């Protein structure tokens, strides 16, 4: 299968090229030329299949032409070493818990899949080691570092701003060792990102070592997110609740929801989607007005959704050929202030006993307000509430238990390389490796 760029000015790429490059040469996002429909028979039996079986069928539709069946199956099964259960919150609202992976957030799925697929291409080519550079303000670094941990032929450098990430987040990428190196940059997130960008553009450095990014727009991180929409449907069908299913996605860069929409194009019987935003309501405004006006992001307590120019909007726009009415017919929007998010976490906990994280709270609230007669809703619980421990404890006024997996990171020995924000220093360091 070939991949084209949403900007339409770059050559079509093979899967391998799209995965290694990430962004197309014209700065567009890669899209698969064909989105295959899955047969009716698959949906007839889906409720009896395991998560891994469901995911493999979806993966085969995207990647089956380009990756040998046994390899692809291995990649899918290795990626999904944890469950994504649907949990009842109210009679009509269910939580798809995507936080049972190594770093307790949904980005584990895409990061683990991408690491394994890239590992496959490197082995196949027999090329030199590939070095992944990733700048992080917290969550991406942990998902990528853990996703790539121990994958042969790949070394990961995580650049993070000194003193600007939470203690839990820092532990998730500084205690791993092996093929993961954490660089503690004396600066802010933008400095980290600038260092990574300069590295990709430096010819001498690129001759010295093979560099790539593990950005969330990469097709190998983006497409696997479709897996759990199918599995959520399977679980709801088993419960007899899938007749009029509404799926609500707390959204920032809109990669997650776009993968769900791809699922619908493949035949997944979802009635409609809701994109839940925090105060960064660029997409919400687009739905209301038909004009897309990006602006600088504002900081909220659902900080993984603090995005002022959602990159995957380009994919949604491309998929619907820019037809605003078609987009608005399939996706509705919601936007919540920090006060509303806090109120939702608090009320839901008191009334149902279910503890939401600030991102999932946007999803739960949008369903509470937006479900119509006869519909059932699933919202994506994108992270475990303990990842936002102090925020959530402040809201519910009670301690939040930290899962064993998260606590284990805190026990590890922090190891990081101090780095200035001067590119010459960063380059000299990489040239010495």
Ligand X SMILES: *Cc1c(COP(=O)(O)O)cnc(C)c1O
Q: How far is the CB of 123 from ligand X (least distance, A)?
A: 29
Q: Which is nearer to ligand X, 199 or 392 (CB)?
A: 392
Residue 225 CB, nearest approach to ligand X (Å): 7
Structure tokens at 89: 């919150």
Phi, psi of 237 (to 5 degrees): -65, -40
* Cβ nearer to ligand X, comparing 311 with 416: 311
Contact yes or no for 354/348 (Cβ under 8 A)? yes
> Please, what is the minimum distance in Å from the beta carbon of residue 357 to ligand X?
7
Q: Closest CB to ligand X among 64 and 370?
A: 370
Give the C-alpha separation, 217 to 213, whole Å.
10
Q: Give residues with Cβ within 8 angstroms of 301, minimum separation 6.
A: 278, 338, 341, 342, 358, 388, 391
Radius of gyration, CA atoms only, the chain:
21
- Distance of alpha carbon 230 from alpha carbon 290, whole angstroms: 30
Q: Which is nearer to ligand X, 29 or 105 (CB)?
A: 105
How many Cβ atoms sit within 10 Å of the Cβ of residue 366? 26
| Nearer CB in complex with ligand X: 212/312 | 312
Provide the binding-site residues for ligand X, judged by CB under 6 A. Answer: 105, 107, 139, 250-256, 304-305, 359, 382-383
Strand, coil or helix: 213: strand
Q: Given the complex with ligand X, which of 16 and 389 has the nearer CB atom? A: 389
CA dihedral 339, 341, 347, 353 (to 10 degrees): -150
Q: Smaller CB distance to ligand X: residue 175 or 253?
A: 253
Helix runs in 331-375, H state only: 338-352, 358-370
Q: Work out how close the CB of 315 gets to ligand X at its nearest, in angstroms, rounded to a whole number.
A: 11
Query: How many other C-beta atoms can be found within 10 angstroms of the C-beta atom of residue 81?
Result: 12
Cα angle at 385 between 356 and 354, to 5 degrees? 35
Find out whether 228 and 109 touch, Cβ atoms under 8 Å: yes
Work out how close the CB of 378 gets to ligand X at its nearest, in angstroms, rounded to a whole number: 15
- Closest contact distance (angstroms) between CB of 43 and ligand X is 25
Please, what is the minimum distance in Å from the beta carbon of residue 174 to ligand X?
A: 19
CB 303, min distance to ligand X, A: 9
Cβ-based nearer residue to ligand X, 245 or 282: 282
Written as six digits, the tokens of 47 are 């409720």
């Amino acid at each position: 299968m070939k991949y084209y760029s949403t900007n339409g000015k770059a050559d079509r790429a093979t899967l391998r090229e799209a995965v290694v490059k990430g962004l197309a040469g014209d700065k567009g996002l890669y899209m698969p030329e064909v989105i295959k429909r899955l047969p009716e028979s698959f949906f007839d039996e889906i409720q009896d299949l395991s998560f891994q079986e469901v995911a493999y069928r979806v993966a085969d539709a995207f990647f089956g032409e380009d990756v040998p069946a046994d390899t692809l199956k291995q990649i899918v099964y290795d990626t999904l070493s944890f469950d994504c259960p649907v949990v009842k919150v109210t009679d009509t609202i269910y939580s798809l818990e995507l936080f049972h992976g190594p770093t307790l957030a949904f980005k584990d799925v895409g990061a683990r899949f991408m690491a394994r697929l890239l590992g496959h291409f490197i082995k196949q080519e027999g090329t030199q080691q590939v070095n992944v550079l990733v700048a992080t303000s917290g969550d991406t670094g942990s998902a990528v570092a853990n996703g790539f941990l121990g994958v042969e032929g790949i070394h990961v450098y995580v650049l993070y701003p000194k003193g600007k990430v939470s203690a839990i987040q820092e532990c998730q990428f500084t205690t791993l060792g092996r093929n993961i190196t954490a660089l503690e940059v004396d600066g802010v997130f933008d400095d980290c990102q600038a260092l990574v960008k300069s590295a990709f553009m430096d010819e001498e450095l690129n001759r010295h070592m093979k560099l790539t990014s593990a950005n969330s727009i990469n097709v190998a991180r983006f497409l696997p997110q479709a897996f759990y929409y199918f599995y959520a449907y399977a679980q709801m069908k088993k419960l007899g609740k899938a007749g009029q299913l509404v799926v609500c996605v707390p959204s920032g860069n809109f990669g997650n929801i776009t993968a769900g929409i791809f699922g619908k194009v493949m035949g997944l019987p979802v009635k409609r989607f809701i994109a839940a935003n925090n105060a960064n309501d660029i997409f919400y405004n687009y739905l209301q007005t038909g004009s897309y006006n990006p602006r600088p992001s504002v900081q909220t307590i659902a900080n993984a959704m603090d995005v002022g120019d959602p990159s995957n909007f380009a994919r949604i726009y491309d998929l619907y050929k820019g037809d605003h009415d078609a987009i608005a017919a399939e996706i509705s929007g919601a936007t919540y202030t920090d006060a509303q998010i806090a109120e939702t976490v608090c009320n839901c906990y008191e009334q149902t006993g279910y503890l939401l994280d600030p991102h999932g709270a946007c999803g739960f609230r949008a369903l509470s307000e937006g479900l119509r007669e006869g519909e059932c809703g699933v919202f994506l619980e994108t992270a475990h509430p303990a990842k936002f421990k102090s925020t959530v404890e402040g809201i519910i006024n009670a301690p939040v238990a930290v899962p064993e997996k998260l606590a284990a990171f805190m026990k590890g020995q922090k190891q990081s390389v101090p780095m200035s924000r001067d590119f010459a220093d960063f380059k000299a360091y990489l040239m010495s490796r």
